[in-house]
Structure 1
């Protein structure tokens, strides 16, 4: 059985390892247009800030390891075209320029994503940087050394992490986003208000709720960022405005979302039975709504890649979907979220309620303790949990993982209130903060249920 794998970052690396383990007889050929594989782009900010001194440590595999598993890894080879009917690939060797055709029995598409690059004036100026791969990481570090004023465009996790890293290096930093809040995709306003105040306290200039219109420069280098509400001086700009799936090779040959994300079933199979796909090139089943969504995360990618190998020949292990669970450290804050924010749930037409609790992470008789802010988003009818966010100076981020399991299993706030969690004063209280949140949510639901009765009684009294 000939297996071709296109792309070898998180999903591709996981797929190759899984295929080699599950199907040792398979002839695996990997096509990767870069000169490296398995780069952890989520570590770029750590490298920029000097936490990770050697960016080489952000790789967790290499062609030699895959060769040891029996895979032939063709680096600096770009697949130019795919014919799913003929089961062929047209490939170019980017070093020699040679082009050739290969065939396959099974194709695994793990082509990943690429940063969104807006078409605007000055986008090609020197020191306007992308943030995705190893080469980008090296460029950002090198160019930041001589830059005093750095503008980051995009206030998602990657942008926020870079802002922190640049401030730790003593740079003057401006953060621009078209949304009126930072991290709006992951957190509701009550948490982002705290995050924004922290950024301001650390000297970051926030320029939110405005669009970037272009860049101006001199001597070929960027000098200004032009927005709908003012101009900002900059020696360097880093674009962090999102990603798009790299799926042009399969357009018109497999089913996709309007944005080009490949639609796969629960076994990573596309609409073509001999083509599987995984990672940032795909849509995923989003458990809070049960719909297919584009959520590019390394965690999704490694799970999907592993499943692509397990289900290569026949459906064996089912994908359980995702909650989009994620976390970030912002200076001394530990922040995590899972599922839907209140804003996202309301936008999706869900009838939800929320509770936000503040609870100390340990008993007050302990020498130290920290406030924990935890927000639950749940359906008004029935109490099914659809989202949660947690923020604390203490590391309470594992609470998001627990709540991710709750959402995946369609648990209610009533069930969460009485889940068995351990108690030990070094770590928590007799009522775990998650139990407390569940109890608070039950009280909120009770108010909803008693409100109509109160209204009836008032009407009768009149």
Structure 2
């Protein structure tokens, strides 16, 4: 059996590692455009900020490790064409210029995503950079050494992490986003207000609700112009989101409107001999029970592992995702799972919400930090559909617990009586998750009166 794998970051590396162990007689060939595999882009800002001193720690595999499993690694090879009818691949060696033709029995698409590059006037000026892979991270580090003012466009996770990194490095930092608050896809306003204030308190300029209209400069960027003003700057980093890398299969397999490949519960595309995993494809989103584009490394490694399990026969279903994620900014720890109140409204889904403010452990302890938890649930079934937490204490694992609650269909009322341990070092006699469930039950009593 000949297996071709296109792309080897998270999903591809997981698929290849598992396939090499499960099918030792298979002929596995990986085509990868970069000179590395498995880069943890979620650590990019930590690397740029100097928290991670040895970048090798951001790789959990290597071409050499995969070769040791008997895999043929075509590094710095770009696949240019896939003939799905003949099961043939045409690739280009980016170093020598040599063209390669290959065939496959099974094809694994793990081509990932690429930063969105808006068609803004002047975007090709020098010192306007992207933040995704290892080479781009090194470019950011090199270019930022001598600059004084860095402008970040896009207030998602990578954008705000880079803001923190550059502010702590002593740079003047401006953050621009077209939405009127940061992290709007992950947290509701009462949470993002606190993170925004943390930036403001440290001198970060927030230009929210502003749209970039052009970049100015001779050869190198000198200013960012928005619909509300002008920002003189030395360096711009674009962090406005990601798009799936799926042009090779356009019109050949079913896709979402944004180009994300549709897969079934067993990671199979509409072509029975092509499987897909990671940021290039859609995933089952449990809060809505629909396919959604949620590019996260956690989703990618699970999907890649499932590709290996289901390569020949469908044996293990994908249980889906809640889009669970976490973030640490300064002394604030935050995490979310499922739908927020904001995202539910955008999808026209009616939810109820319960918000509690508690101490993370008894106040007789030397320290007891504030915890804000918000849980969203469906009004009729009372099933939990989303949650968010923020605290100076690291209580983010509570969101992993609530992710399981969403996946298994737990109700907000049941949450009030889940068995959680008590130990004064860690929590209260009634865990704050329990208290959210109990508070929702009290709210219901009032509604029924």
Could you state the TM-score of these two structures normalised by the residue count of structure 2?
Answer: 0.99
Residues of 2 paired with 1:42 and 1:351: CA distance?
Answer: 32
1:33 alignment partner in structure 2: 33
- Return 5+ residue gaps in structure 1 as ranges: 451-462
CA deviations on 1:302-323 (whole Å, 9 max, x unpaired) are 0000100110000111101000
Question: Shift of residue 112 of structure 1?
Answer: 0.3
Question: Shift of residue 365 of structure 1?
Answer: 1.3
Residues of 2 paired with 1:234 and 1:55: CA distance?
Answer: 28
CA RMSD of aligned residues (A): 0.8
Question: Shift of residue 100 of structure 1?
Answer: 2.3
CA deviations on 1:27-82 (whole Å, 9 max, x unpaired) are 10000011111111111110111101122321111111101111101001111100
1:437 alignment partner in structure 2: 436
- The alignment status of 1:293 with 2:325, answered yes or no, reads no
Residues of 2 paired with 1:120 and 1:209: CA distance?
Answer: 17
Residues of 2 paired with 1:394 and 1:336: CA distance?
Answer: 12
Residue-pair matches, total: 449
CA deviations on 1:189-248 (whole Å, 9 max, x unpaired) are 111111111110011100000111110013x11110010111111100000000000000
- The alignment status of 1:349 with 2:348, answered yes or no, reads yes
1:135 alignment partner in structure 2: 135
Residues 86-101 of structure 1: pairs in structure 2 closer than 5 A: 86-101=86-101
Residues of 2 paired with 1:344 and 1:26: CA distance?
Answer: 44
Residues 273-312 of structure 1: pairs in structure 2 closer than 5 A: 273-312=272-311
Note if contact 1:90-1:99 (Cα within 8 Å) is conserved in structure 2: yes
Residues of 1 paired with 2:221 and 2:141: CA distance?
Answer: 17
1:457 alignment partner in structure 2: none
Residues of 2 paired with 1:441 and 1:143: CA distance?
Answer: 51
Question: What secondary structure, in the 3-state scheme, does the structure 2 residue paired with 1:266 have?
Answer: coil
Residues of 2 paired with 1:397 and 1:323: CA distance?
Answer: 15
Note if contact 1:383-1:445 (Cα within 8 Å) is conserved in structure 2: no
Residues of 1 paired with 2:442 and 2:381: CA distance?
Answer: 13
CA distance change for structure 1 residues 144 and 177 in 2, over 3 Å: closer, same or farther?
Answer: same
Residues of 2 paired with 1:446 and 1:108: CA distance?
Answer: 53
Note if contact 1:63-1:73 (Cα within 8 Å) is conserved in structure 2: yes
Question: Shift of residue 375 of structure 1?
Answer: 0.4
Residues of 2 paired with 1:66 and 1:266: CA distance?
Answer: 27
Could you state the TM-score of these two structures normalised by the residue count of structure 1?
Answer: 0.96
1:384 alignment partner in structure 2: 383
Residues of 1 paired with 2:255 and 2:3: CA distance?
Answer: 22
- Say which one has the larger Rg: 1
Question: What secondary structure, in the 3-state scheme, does the structure 2 residue paired with 1:222 have?
Answer: coil
Question: What secondary structure, in the 3-state scheme, does the structure 1 residue paired with 2:263 have?
Answer: coil
- The alignment status of 1:45 with 2:28, answered yes or no, reads no
Residues of 2 paired with 1:254 and 1:205: CA distance?
Answer: 44
Question: Shift of residue 406 of structure 1?
Answer: 0.4
1:163 alignment partner in structure 2: 163
Residues of 1 paired with 2:340 and 2:267: CA distance?
Answer: 27
Note if contact 1:362-1:427 (Cα within 8 Å) is conserved in structure 2: yes
Residues of 2 paired with 1:331 and 1:195: CA distance?
Answer: 9
Question: Shift of residue 445 of structure 1?
Answer: 2.6
- The alignment status of 1:54 with 2:54, answered yes or no, reads yes
Question: What secondary structure, in the 3-state scheme, does the structure 2 residue paired with 1:322 have?
Answer: coil
Question: Shift of residue 180 of structure 1?
Answer: 0.5
1:150 alignment partner in structure 2: 150
Question: Shift of residue 94 of structure 1?
Answer: 1.1
CA deviations on 1:314-352 (whole Å, 9 max, x unpaired) are 011110100000000010000000001101112222221
Question: Shift of residue 120 of structure 1?
Answer: 1.4
Question: What secondary structure, in the 3-state scheme, does the structure 2 residue paired with 1:221 have?
Answer: coil
1:194 alignment partner in structure 2: 194
Question: Shift of residue 444 of structure 1?
Answer: 2.2
- Return 5+ residue gaps in structure 2 as ranges: none
2:362 alignment partner in structure 1: 363
1:456 alignment partner in structure 2: none
Note if contact 1:112-1:245 (Cα within 8 Å) is conserved in structure 2: yes
Residues of 1 paired with 2:186 and 2:139: CA distance?
Answer: 28
1:230 alignment partner in structure 2: 229
CA deviations on 1:412-456 (whole Å, 9 max, x unpaired) are 001111000000011001100100011111222333333xxxxxx
Residues of 2 paired with 1:135 and 1:66: CA distance?
Answer: 21
Note if contact 1:380-1:445 (Cα within 8 Å) is conserved in structure 2: no
